[in-house]
Structure 1
Amino acid sequence: MPEGPELHLSSRFVNFVCKNRIFGGKIIKSLVSRQPDVEWDAPYYTISAASRGKEVKLTLTSQPDSKNDLLKTAPNEKPRTLDIIFQFGMSGKFDFYEAGGLVKHAHLNFFTVDEPKMVLSFVDFRRFGKWHVGADWSEDRGPCVLFEYPKFRENVMNSLDKLLFNRPICEVMLNQQYFNGIGNYLRAEILYRLKIPPFVSARSVLEPLVAKTADDTDQPKIKIEGPDFLQLCNLVPLEVINLGGTGYDPKERGESYSAFDKWLQCYYQPNMKNMADHNKRTIWYSGPAGPMAPTVKVTGKKQSRKKKKKMEMEDQAEIKKIKLEEKSISENENLKEMIVRSKKINSAAKDNVGVPHVEEMKKESRKRKMKLEKGIVEEKNGNAASDFKVCKHTSLTDLKLSDYPTDGTRVTRSRVKVILKEVGLKQKPSRSVNKNGLQNKDGVTAENKETNHTKIKKRSARGKRASQQK
């Protein structure tokens, strides 16, 4: 968020690009902006800017002619002026470029009349910025920490009886009624330089300065022991302005930003701590936070049964996945061990060393391999004996859809055989049995087979007789 130094640098930028330029025509506002239209009927005008804390004032001054040599008004004509107060919000800034096409998020645009045509735009991609037409500096904002230091100090010292100053110093510093121009990175840098914990009461920091205020002149004095808290509120922002560039602008990280980045000692530095204050704004600091630091509470809404059940199922699935991974790792290790053993056996067999011992090792290796393969098959079958309600059926035809395993695998005849075998049950003969107790593949007994054969013979004989008669 732009702070006092950034707004002052913006006002300087406007004065630089608008110097000796004449503007004219309609002031265009973007369609998406909810801010008011700027009604200004002067055919020609100039633009100048000034800053105060976290506000920038644009002043439009009417001109009688568009030519540069007639910028001064006639003796009998009094120029008209219009003030527009801008608050930049989170991402506001001014841009100046050729008027061939407006840049994205340009919400208020002033056009020049000279060639090539240029445009001064108020750009704000988050649209938190505001402007007030025909207004003056906001009454609810205190004196500027940059250019009204004596008034700023007096305003703070005369207000220490207010309950606001019982709050943590880091939160009071963001109150623009007393610290107009101080923002998040400035408060971190000021408190860090004085080694003041961010969560001590503002009163404990400011009350010791009451006696010193009477000796202050218009500009802060840097004494041997160093500047005090209120003096740093003036000196630290001035340091940012003297760096040049655009100040804090993480979106446009050009060459000028590197000087600012090196200047930062505390804000967003990797070796510093950070914590959200009571207003959910992050404060960066070093050392103890202070006795008024907010306690972190874990709060949340009650979960519905459906959501809770879903989370439990996800947890179970994750646990199952982990177990399978562990098992696969152990299986791989066993396979590796078997490979090593087989290599040893082969090498021993080649050397004809201890042949009886080698045979024993081969048998043991085969047993281990068979055991391992059996375990893998059982795992693939999804622990079939436990998944099926085997006790309810003893044949393939007795299986029901309700008896399908929960893991969604298909029921196959071979799998059912494995299941029945594991639980010690035998299959019922589901096909017909002949006289000898043997089952025919087509399900037909021997007697029925004979009768069928005689019928076929009789039919063929009748067919022959009929053909002979013809």
Structure 2
Amino acid sequence: MPELPEVETSVRGISPYLVGKTIKEIIIRRKQLRWLVSDELSEMQNALITVISRRAKYLIIHTTKGEIIIHLGMSGSLSILEKETKDVGKHDHIDLITQDGIVLRYNDPRRFGAWLWADNISQMPIFQKLGLEPLSAEFNGDYLYKKSRNRKVAVKKFIMDNTVVVGVGNIYACESLFLAKILPERLVCTLTEEQSHLLVTIIKQVLAKAIEQGGTTLKDFVQPDGKPGYFAQVLQVYGRKGEECHQCKNQIKTKIIGQRNTFYCDECQK
């Protein structure tokens, strides 16, 4: 599943091609994705794209006719074509075409993504309960420590809770907890203030590094320029079950926490 760094990479990848451009049309080849594609998208002709941003794992195209909200779901990806083409793949469900012929193409084999429209995103239910952005100044050690008191839940599940902090997906939660030397199943209420500050610092570093390097290479993710990300080459624990820990040579183990496969080293993490 594309996570926050992949979405941020997509925002940065498509923005130079689309910001300041006027929409000619949006072609919808399949209306049924995770939710029905908003009818308003077929009426976006002549809308000017003013900026492209991200909130959690949602990519938002701001226009003079409202906001286009995109979620990549489990397997969605965006690519830029520098001219219109009739060469359309089976899973190319939506094209946004500018008046000068640039095409933003949405491909989604599993169809768990979304294309929605809003005139005020703050009033949309999907945005109202979202927690802090992980790279914001407001997300800090004091916030995590205070928020976690009396919460008898695994620390990994806690940092993946979108009402607490958004976008810390499975890969980056596993990696951050390993680097912070914290067992993912440990109750979050047992973290000290020092550990809370350390964990927040590491989450920010891991996400920033992933964004800088282009997002994690997963079999379903490709950057807008067609190049894969490179962060997967330096993953410490995620996807490495049974392999040696880079730090202590102990075997990397897995268990299910919050219905997600979790990778960790029980020698390095306590």
Q: Under a length normalisation based on structure 1, what TM-score does the superposition of the two structures give?
A: 0.48
**Residue matched to 1:67:** none
User: Alpha-carbon deviation of 1:237?
Assistant: 0.1
User: Alpha-carbon deviation of 1:250?
Assistant: 2.8
Structure 1: distance between partners of 2:219 and 2:260: 18
1:163-312 equivalences in 2 (<5 Å): 165-205=151-191, 207-209=192-194, 228-243=198-213, 245-251=214-220, 257=228, 259-269=230-240, 270-271=243-244, 272-287=251-266
Structure 1: distance between partners of 2:106 and 2:227: 21
**Residue matched to 2:247:** none
Q: Deviations over 1:250-281 (max 9, x none)?
A: 34579964732332122112325232324331
Q: Output the amino acid matched with 1:275.
A: T
- Is contact 2:217-2:230 (8 Å) kept? no
Q: From 69, 72, 90, give the equivalent of 2:74.
A: 90
User: Alpha-carbon deviation of 1:183?
Assistant: 0.7
Structure 2: distance between partners of 1:234 and 1:55: 19
Q: Which has the higher contact order (CA 8 A, sep 6+)?
A: 2
**Residue matched to 2:57:** 54
Q: Output the amino acid matched with 1:242.
A: E
**Structure 1 pair 124/286, CA: closer, same or farther in 2 (3 Å)?**
same
Structure 2: distance between partners of 1:257 and 1:118: 21
1:132 aligns with 2:116: yes
User: Alpha-carbon deviation of 1:123?
Assistant: 2.0
Structure 2: distance between partners of 1:288 and 1:156: 25
Q: Deviations over 1:311-347 (max 9, x none)?
A: xxxxxxxxxxxxxxxxxxxxxxxxxxxxxxxxxxxxx
**Structure 1 pair 56/42, CA: closer, same or farther in 2 (3 Å)?**
closer
User: Alpha-carbon deviation of 1:282?
Assistant: 0.6
- Secondary structure in structure 2 of the residue aligned to 1:36: coil
- Secondary structure in structure 1 of the residue aligned to 2:171: helix
1:17-96 equivalences in 2 (<5 Å): 17-33=17-33, 34-39=35-40, 41-47=43-49, 48-61=51-64, 81-96=65-80
Greater gyration radius: 1
- Secondary structure in structure 1 of the residue aligned to 2:183: coil
- Secondary structure in structure 1 of the residue aligned to 2:103: strand
**Structure 1 pair 111/275, CA: closer, same or farther in 2 (3 Å)?**
same
User: Alpha-carbon deviation of 1:157?
Assistant: 3.9
- Secondary structure in structure 2 of the residue aligned to 1:189: helix
**Residue matched to 1:145:** 134
Aligned length: 250
Indicate the percent of aligned positions where both proteins have the same amino acid: 21
- Is contact 2:217-2:229 (8 Å) kept? no
**Structure 1 pair 290/237, CA: closer, same or farther in 2 (3 Å)?**
closer
**Structure 1 pair 59/29, CA: closer, same or farther in 2 (3 Å)?**
farther
User: Alpha-carbon deviation of 1:126?
Assistant: 1.1
Q: From 123, 148, 154, give the equivalent of 1:160.
A: 148
Structure 1: distance between partners of 2:112 and 2:140: 27
Two-structure CA RMSD over aligned residues (Å)? 3.0
Q: Output the amino acid matched with 1:203.
A: C
Higher mean alpha-carbon deviation, 32-41 vs 196-205, is at 32-41
**Structure 1 pair 153/105, CA: closer, same or farther in 2 (3 Å)?**
farther
**Structure 1 pair 131/251, CA: closer, same or farther in 2 (3 Å)?**
closer
Q: Deviations over 1:390-445 (max 9, x none)?
A: xxxxxxxxxxxxxxxxxxxxxxxxxxxxxxxxxxxxxxxxxxxxxxxxxxxxxxxx
**Structure 1 pair 58/153, CA: closer, same or farther in 2 (3 Å)?**
farther
- Secondary structure in structure 1 of the residue aligned to 2:48: strand
- Is contact 2:154-2:187 (8 Å) kept? yes
Structure 2: distance between partners of 1:107 and 1:258: 23
User: Alpha-carbon deviation of 1:248?
Assistant: 3.4
Structure 2: distance between partners of 1:160 and 1:119: 45
- Is contact 1:50-1:56 (8 Å) kept? yes
Q: Output the amino acid matched with 1:141.
A: L
Structure 1: 5+ residue stretches without partners: 62-80, 213-226, 292-470
User: Alpha-carbon deviation of 1:35?
Assistant: 1.8
Q: Under a length normalisation based on structure 2, what TM-score does the superposition of the two structures give?
A: 0.79
- Is contact 1:142-1:155 (8 Å) kept? no
Q: Deviations over 1:332-381 (max 9, x none)?
A: xxxxxxxxxxxxxxxxxxxxxxxxxxxxxxxxxxxxxxxxxxxxxxxxxx
**Structure 1 pair 132/240, CA: closer, same or farther in 2 (3 Å)?**
same
- Secondary structure in structure 2 of the residue aligned to 1:239: helix
